[in-house]
Each structure stands twice: as C-alpha cells, then as structure tokens.
Structure 1
Amino acid sequence: MSERVEGTAPDTGGDTADFRVHVATQAIRLFAEHGYEATTVDQIAAAAGVSRRTFFRQFRSKEDVIFADHESLIAQASAFLAGTTTDPWEAVCDAAHLVFDRYRENRELSVRRYQVVQRVPALRDRELVTGYRYERVFSDYLRGAAPAAPPLAVVGFTASVTACHNYLLRAMIRGDEHATPEALRSALTEIRHKFAPGAPASGNSSATSVGETVTVVTYPAGTSPAEVARQVRRQLEAHRP
C-alpha cells in the first residue's frame, strides 16, 4: 500500500504548490474534526493519499502544513507584484485584494483553520508572523518600485493596508456580511489617498469598513514602524462590531 501511494503522490510530477495546498486542506479538515494535538502525521498522509515519507519531503511538521496555503499566497502576491506595471501604490492594494479573494473563494477552509488556530497558542503566534511577512513583501516591493517615496510613508502605507486587510478578512471568516471585497477596496483607496500624493479618494467612504469609517492618521517623522502598525491596528479594532 505504501509503495502504491508513494508512486502516485502528486508531488512526483504535478505542481508542488497545488500538492502542498491539497495536503494542507486534508490536514486542516482533520484538525477541525479531531483536534490539532490528536491528529497524527500518518492520518494526514493517509487522508491526502500520500506516504509519510512524501509528507516530510514537503513539510517539517504539523504546524508547517497548516500554513501551506499562506506560503502559496505569499508567493502569488510576490509574483503578481513582480509582474505588474501599474501604479506601485495601487499594485500593493491589488495584491491585498488577490489574497482576500483567494480566502473568500475558500471560505470553508479558512473558517476551519481559524477555529483550529484560535485553540492553539503556538499556531496563533505563527499566524501573526505570517501576517508580518505579507507586510514585508509589500514594503520591499514598494521601496524598489517607488524609490523616491519617504520611508515612513512606505512603512505606514503597507502597515495600514495589511492591518485593514486582516481586519476585514477575520470579519469575513466570522461571517460578517459587510466584510466584502467592495468594503476592502474602499478602505484601501482611503489609505492610498493618505499616503500617496495625488491618489484619488474613495468615492464611497460609507463603505470603507465593517459598518464604520476607518480613520488612518499620519504620524510624525521618527515614529517607529512597530508603533505605526500598533496604532493602526488599535484603531481598526476599535471599529469592530
């Protein structure tokens, strides 16, 4: 049985990213049904139709597998930004939409992962780190694509985009009907207008966030990136229904 599964494993000839997401989907389903600690690697491998050896070729641990689609989306966002020729500030907003739309398309899986992650402190910490990685991808791109932009504007913009995206993403996963792509686009347009001179303001500020208007303020020069991100997140949480 093991040899047959090994010989037909998706990673031997198919797309590695698709394979990793496939295994992650099965793992998250098992975690949601049986609990994270109670689920074994052997059970995940069997559910995914691969051997234990194939599993460990792609993943270091159970913790690694639960965030496999995060890794895939980070790669997709990076590839999108590398290939775009649009306005750099708008490109970052578009990349955030790409991530939001993928999770919205797979909301059932997102809900299961959210439920699992909330029960395990180590997974919650890992998810926070993953959120900062999106922010780093956006910042690195913008520094290269808009080299004349003030560093604090880049940091404030990307921190605000990431915080707004994550807030609406969590609201969408919890089932809030106001957490829509349109709400995200309106909120990101407001943020872009504040940080990128000449950017158009949103035409519908009433849809900026979940039931409220997200206010993003500017900070004096010298404010640390961590403090900018902390204050933006605090303001967004204050608007939570």
Structure 2
Amino acid sequence: MASSRQRLIEAAFALFDERGFEETTVEDVAERAGVGRTTFFRVFKSKEDVIFPDHAVLLAAVRDRLATATDATASVAVTEAARLVLKHHLAEGDRARIRYRLTRSVPTLRAREIASQQQYQRTFREFVHDWLGSAPHTALRAELLANAVITAHNHVLRRWLRDQIDAQAANAEFDVAMAHVVSLHGTRPDAPGEREATLVVLRTTRPLAQMLPALREIAGHPLQD
C-alpha cells in the first residue's frame, strides 16, 4: 500500500493537472489522497513543496557522487552526477511533464525551480573550484563549467519534456552534450602527465637551428648536455 506521502504527491499532481495549481487547495489534495489536512502539513510545508518533493534527496545524491571523485576521475564524476538528475526526471515520466507545464505558468513555482537549479549549479561550481585548486584565477573556469553542466542537462531535458525525443535518445544526447562540456572545460591543466601550453607563431629571420633549443625549453623538453 502506498504511503501517505506518495498518495499526497500523486493526488496533488493529478489535481494540479486537472484544475490548475492556484485553483487546487490543500484540502482538495488531502481529500483526494484519503488523508486529513493535518497529515498533509505533517509531510509537506506547502503546496509548492509537493511539486519538488525529491529535490533534497537528489541534491544529496549529486554531492555524494562528486565526493567519490579523485583528481583523475573528476570530469567523469561531474558527468555521472548530472546524469543522476536527468535519470530521475526521466523516471518520473508524466509527473515531470506536469511539473514542467506548471513551472512555465505559475511564477512562484518558476522561482522555486530557479532556486533549485542554483543549488545544483553551486554544488558543481564548488566541486570544480576545489578540483582546480581553489585559486582565485580558477573561479571563473569553475563558474563556466558549472553553468555549462546545467545548460547541457536542461537542454536535453527540455527536449524530452516537449516530446521531441524519447528517453533513449535523451540519454544519448546527454552523452554528446556532456562530452562537449568536458572538452571545453573539464581538463585540469596541472593534471599528472599534462601541461598547459600556448604557442605563438612569429616571423623571424633567425635560423631554425637557433630557435629549436628555446622552443623545446618552452614545451618542457630542454636539450640535454
């Protein structure tokens, strides 16, 4: 038998979809779920909380996945942590689509959704900044990567929510989107075996033999005596 919490969620989403969010009262939800008003407020603080019932649990799962990363697997952890969020929405099915319609039309729900996204973004930003060494000059790169992760996830999710792709295609597109994100921002310059280098090509009349030692020094391969 479904728990009171699950019955309340199912009743609320059904009523919000049938009547609209503003037109549905807490009493309506409780009655549809077969519980009392007191039970509703024992489980949820407000109607808005019913729309985003799993946010805290999902955010904790994202943080837990990131916490298992090493320097060598950080970019993989970012991808897999973001995938947890996508898979959660895909598993919700019609409930996710109802939420999408509601957040497009109800300003308070839209604001709540934006606040939730900001929490995910902050989680990724803090993780990446720490991974990059927490230096002042890495703050921007961490911000860019976190924004890119959220943008890539939301782009794919919206296509699924609008019935433009099915769940299988969403997972495939997510892989491609995150590959782009990682290729742009997801490699730490000082990772073992890697060095960041900038090559500037200038015209010169000096013989190549005279230039090679300096070029090799810049590239990190000095000539041996």
TM > 0.5: yes
For 1:116, which of 81, 89, 102 is the aligned residue? 102
Q: Give me the identity figure in percent.
A: 33
Q: Is 1:34 aligned to residue 27 of structure 2? A: no
Native 8 Å contact 2:75 2:187 kept in 1: no
Out of 73, 83, 101, the residue aligned to residue 87 of structure 2 is 101
Pair 46,77 (structure 1): closer, same or farther in 2 beyond 3 Å: farther
Matched, 1:184 2:179: no
Whether the 8 Å contact between 1:28 and 1:112 is mirrored in structure 2 is yes
> For residues 192 and 26 of structure 1, do their structure 2 counterparts lie closer, same or farther at Cα, with a shift above 3 Å needed?
same
Which residue of 43, 49, 52 maps to 1:64?
49
Q: Which one-letter code corresponds to 1:188 in the other structure?
A: M
Residue 139 (structure 1) aligned to one of 125, 130, 140: 125
Give the partner amino acid of 1:75.
A
Q: Secondary structure at the match of 1:180?
A: helix
- 1:188: Cα distance to partner? 0.7
The equivalent of 1:44 in structure 2 is 29
Q: 1:173 aligns with which of 149, 156, 161?
A: 161
| Structure 1 unmatched runs, 5+ | 1-7, 12-18, 200-241
Deviation (angstroms), 1:166: 0.9
Distance in 2, matches of 1:9 and 1:167, equals 33
Flag the 1:29–1:146 CA change in 2: closer, same or farther, 3 A. farther
- Report the Cα distance in structure 2 between the residues aligned to 1:160 and 1:35, rounded to whole angstroms: 33
- Superposition pairs for residues 76-95 of structure 1, below 5 Å? 76-85=61-70, 87-95=73-81
Alpha-carbon distance, 1:183 to partner: 0.9
Of the three residues 134, 142, 151, the one matched with 1:163 is 151
1:84 Cα offset (Å): 4.6
1:232 is matched with none
| Equivalent position of 1:196 in the other structure | 186
Question: Which one scores higher on RCO, CA 8 angstroms, separation ≥ 6?
Answer: 1
Mean Cα deviation higher: 46-55 or 155-164: 46-55
Q: 1:9, 1:50 within 8 Å by CA — same for their partners in 2?
A: no
Partner of 1:226: none
Taking a change above 3 Å as real, the CA distance of residues 94 and 107 of structure 1, as seen in their structure-2 partners, is: same
TM-score (norm 2): 0.72
| 5+ residue gaps, structure 2 | 190-225
Q: Deviations over 1:191-230 (max 9, x none)?
A: 111113379xxxxxxxxxxxxxxxxxxxxxxxxxxxxxxx
Of 33-42 and 136-145, the range deviating more from structure 2: 136-145
- Assess, with a 3 A threshold, how the Cα gap between structure 1 residues 22 and 70 changes in structure 2: closer, same or farther: farther
**Greater CA radius of gyration, 1 or 2?**
2
- The CA RMSD measured in Å over matched residues stands at 2.6
